Structures are given as C-alpha cells and as structure tokens.
Copies of this chain bind each other. A is one copy, B any other.
Amino acid sequence: MPVNITPPLPEQLLPIKGVSLGIAAAGIKKSNRQDLLVIVLDEGAQVAGVFTQNRFCAAPVIVAKEHLSHSDSKFSIRALVINTGNANAGTGEQGIACARSTCFELARLLGCNVRQVLPFSTGVIMEPLPLEKIVAGLPIALANLKSDNWFAAAQAIMTTDIVPKAVSKQIALNGTTVTITGIAKGSGMIHPNMATMLGYVVTDAAVSQPLLQQMVRYAADSSFNRITVDGDTSTNDAFILIATGRAGHAEITEKRSAEFNLLQQAVTEVAVQLAQAIVRDGEGATKFITVRVENGKTQNECAKAAYAIAHSPLVKTAFFASDPNLGRILAAIGYAGIDDLDVSKLQLYLDDVLVAENGGRAQSYLEQDGQRVMQQAEIVVRVVLNRGHESTTVWTCDFSYDYVKINASYRS
C-alpha cells in the first residue's frame, strides 16, 4: 500500500547520451526474476558517489569505493554492475573476492580494466554471493544493452519495493538542453547515511570530477540523507552521480557559475523525488509524513528534533491510527537531546493547525481539527523552536501492522 505514488511510464524516462543499460535474469535468489543490471558508460564519463557510513560495509561498497578513488582520465569508469537478491554483506574476505571477480569478468567482456567497473549488491545479508550465476548473467545483460532500458532497470534493482522508482528531467544550460534520468531502490531500513538504498542519477551534462563529487554530496544531504523509515542504516547503500559530458556544452569547472547551480538544483530535485518515492513505498507505509523543524539555533539541533519525531515508534503508530496524539510528538522533541531547549517557547503545527504552544495544548486547538489532518494520507508536522534562524526537513512514513509482518517474514 504505497502512499500516493504511481510507477513512471517507460516513455517518460529519457535516454542519456553515452549510457546504455542491459538486464538479465540470473537466478540469484529467485528464478525468472530480472535481478542483474549492467550500466555501460562511454569512455570519459565522470562518476562521483557517496556510500553508507555503517562500520559494517558490504564487500561491493569496499570495492566500489576503491575503484572510484583510483579512476582518472585514463581509466574512467566504464560500467556499473548491480545485483539484487544477495547483498554480499558480512561475507568477509570471500565476499570481497566475489565482488572483485564480478568486476573482473565484466571488464574482460567489455575489454577494459577491472578498476573501471563498480559493483553494487542488495538483498539478503550474510549469505555467500552466487558468483557463478552472476558471471553467467553478464553476457546476457550485455546482449540486450539499450539506451531506453531505464524502466526495466528500475524494476531490476527492486527488493521489497512495490513500485519502481525512476524520474527524468530536462533543463537548459546556456541554450543547451541537458537531460537527467535517475533510478533508485529501497523501502525498509531507510535512514540518513544512505541505508539499504541504491540511487543512480545520470546526466549528459559535462562537469569536472571534483565539482561532481561536491554535487553528489549536496544532493544526498538534501534527499537520501533526509529520509527515514525505521531508523536502521544499512551495509550496502550508495548514491552515484554520473555525468557523460555528451550534451555538447562546455565542461562546468567553476562552482560559482550559474550553470553549476542550475545543474545542482536539477540533480537535487531528481534525488529528492527518488528519495520521497522510497518513503512513499516504505515497508507497510500508509501515510507520508513531512517533519519540518524551523527557527532552531543550528541545522544540527533541527535535525535532532526532526529525527526524534520521525524515529519514534509511538509517534509512528499514532500516525497509523490517525490519532492526533500531540503528547507523543512533544515528548519526542523533549528527549531529542537539545540541552537548553525551553519547551514552553515552541509551537507545534499539524499542517496549518496550531496544536501546542506554551508547554501544552494551544487555546485555539480543537481535537476535530487535529483529527481531520491526521486522517490525510499526507501530513506536515511543523515545529517552530523560536530560538534561531536554521531549519530542516525530514520525510518519513507511519508504522503499521504490515511493517512488522514484512520484516518478520523477510527471509522466509
């Protein structure tokens, strides 16, 4: 029961010059399931990425970070290989060997160097990766490489996702049309620091690698690092931004340029749409919640309050029940860890309804107004701290019977 989200139409997803995608059913976990995606890049593409902060990083994360850090103009990244059904995480040295072997085999087929390939995996953790199945699937994926395979690619990387997540956008940079297409997967275990989430955004714009790295960090911090389903962070997460440089404009090399800002804004909008789609498809989600904390002293304290609300199982079950249980939201702000917070100074709104101020229920508040907002599928919780000028927004979903059901039976 995803919240207000429909799959994109295949024809809405625009090809990117310099990129082709191939898919195979490799039988990694289930047979007859498209579970292997290869993204092939023309030479000279710039690639930047951010990865999970979890101390247990999966083998492909270790290898992808290593290959990315060694890529340069002579050995640019030529391919990404992504499998579902097995995360190759918690698999020790053997897992790293499997990730390297996957890259080696794809590099051999493409005639490039092993470090020009980035590996990604998602699915069950602590199980050995069935390397031979992936190796057997690679030629099949390469045999059906197409530039308009984006919809099938979005489907191929799904795990517990119900809806494929993909979006395209075009902007004009100095008269040149630039296209951006992105896909993502993820539904449970979503948290800041990129939890069990894979995102790939590709543009035909031309951007220098250092600026692309800044852009991917900025876009992640405004999107994938601002969503949370259950507070868990994962072992495999990655957000990759690729610029093929084929749009035909001069390479962007200056951060203070209008072109950089326009492109960064457009890339971030694509990333926000993908990230919100992940929350809308959150495991067992029935409501989409925007938590906005305003007028804090620092971004950090705003984020503390927002995440305390967004992570509270009590708040999330109250949203599920359409119960305007203000006390649970206020209690969450109270234990968020903002040491000198004067709770009598803040205001709490549900959408446009002022529900609490002066340390208690607002004089003007009627339960029926709160009730009306809580019954909506989309709810904005707004906290005004009244102690500074910073603000932040976090997106989350409610916590339903189905969350427990999905996560109690995930491996069976």
Supposing A313-B231, A314-B189, A318-B408 touch, asked if A327 and B126 sit within 8 A by C-beta, the answer is: yes
Residues of chain B lying within 8 A (CB to CB) of residue A235: 327, 330-331, 334
Q: Are A409 and B232 in contact (CB under 8 A)?
A: no
Question: A307-350 interface mask toward B, CB cutoff 8 Å, 1 = contact, 0 = none?
Answer: 00001111001101101011110111111101001011000000
The answer on a CB contact under 8 Å between B405 and A331 is no
> Chain B residues near A314 (CB, 8 Å)?
188-189, 230, 232, 407
Which residue of B323, B331, B407 is within 8 Å of A317 (Cβ)?
B407
A335 & B53 in contact (Cβ 8 Å cutoff): yes
The reply to whether B323 and A408 contact each other, CB–CB distance below 8 Å, is: yes
Chain A, range 233-268, C-beta contacts under 8 Å to B: 233-235
Residue ID in chain B nearest A406 by CB atoms: B317
A90 to B365, CA, bound (A): 14
Q: B126 to A89, Cβ gap below 8 A? A: no
The proximity string for A residues 366-401 relative to B, scoring 1 for CB distances below 8 Å and 0 otherwise, is: 000000000000000000000000000000000111
Q: Quick check: B408 and A55 within 8 Å, CB to CB? A: no
From A125, which residue of chain B is reached at the shortest CB distance? B327
> How many angstroms from the CA of A125 to the CA of B315 in the assembled complex?
13
A332 cross-chain contacts in B, Cβ below 8 A: 232
Which of B54, B89, B188 has a CB less than 8 Å from the CB of A335?
B54
How many Å lie between the Cα of A42 and that of B143 in the bound state? 88
On whether the beta carbons of B400 and A404 are closer than 8 Å, the reply is: yes
A407 adjacent to B313 (CB under 8 Å): yes
Annotate A199-222 by CB proximity to B: 1 below 8 A, 0 otherwise.
000000000000000000000000
Q: Interface segment, A28-36, A72-80, A269-277, A352-360? A: A352-360
CA distance A313 to B268 in the complex (A): 30
A359 touches B401 (CB 8 A): no
The answer for the CA separation of A323 and B12 in the assembled complex, in Å, is 41
Contact yes or no, A230 B92, CB < 8 A? no
- Expressed in whole angstroms, the Cα–Cα distance for A312 and B231 within the complex equals 7
- The residue of chain B having its C-beta at the shortest distance from the C-beta of A411 within the complex is B323
Q: Does A95 contact B (CB under 8 A)?
A: yes
Pick from B323, B360, B399: contact of A92, CB below 8 A. B360
The size of the chain A interface, using a CB distance under 8 A, is 68
Rounded to whole angstroms, the CA-CA distance of A231 and B360 in the bound complex is: 23
Residues of chain B contacted by A407 (CB below 8 angstroms)? 313-314, 317-318, 321
In the assembled complex, A124 has its CB within 8 A of some CB on chain B: yes
> With A126-B327, A408-B317 known to touch, is A56 a contact of B92 (CB < 8 Å)?
no
Contacts of A410 in B (CB 8 A): 323, 325
Residue on B nearest A398 in the bound complex, by CB = B408
| Residues of chain B with a CB closer than 8 A to A360's CB | 90-92, 94-95, 126
A361 beta carbon closer than 8 Å to chain B: yes
Rounded to whole angstroms, the CA-CA distance of A401 and B313 in the bound complex is: 13
The answer on a CB contact under 8 Å between B56 and A330 is yes
Q: Which residues of B contact A412 (CB under 8 A)?
A: 321, 323
Is the pair B399, A359 in contact by a Cβ cutoff of 8 Å?
no
**Of the candidates B56, B318, B399, which one forms a contact with A334 in the assembled complex, judged by CB atoms under 8 Å apart?**
B56
How far, in whole Å, are A327 and B57 apart by their CA atoms in the complex?
Answer: 11
Interface membership of A104, Cβ < 8 A:
no
Contacts of A318 in B (CB 8 A): 407-408
Q: Is A193 part of the binding interface, using a Cβ–Cβ cutoff of 8 Å?
A: yes
CB–CB B90/A356 < 8 A: yes
13 interchain pairs, CB-CB under 8 A: A54-B331, A54-B335, A55-B338, A56-B343, A57-B334, A91-B360, A93-B358, A126-B326, A126-B356, A234-B331, A318-B407, A401-B401, A403-B404
Extra contacts besides A56-B334, A93-B359 (7): CB < 8 Å = A87-B327, A89-B327, A90-B327, A90-B359, A125-B328, A234-B331, A313-B407
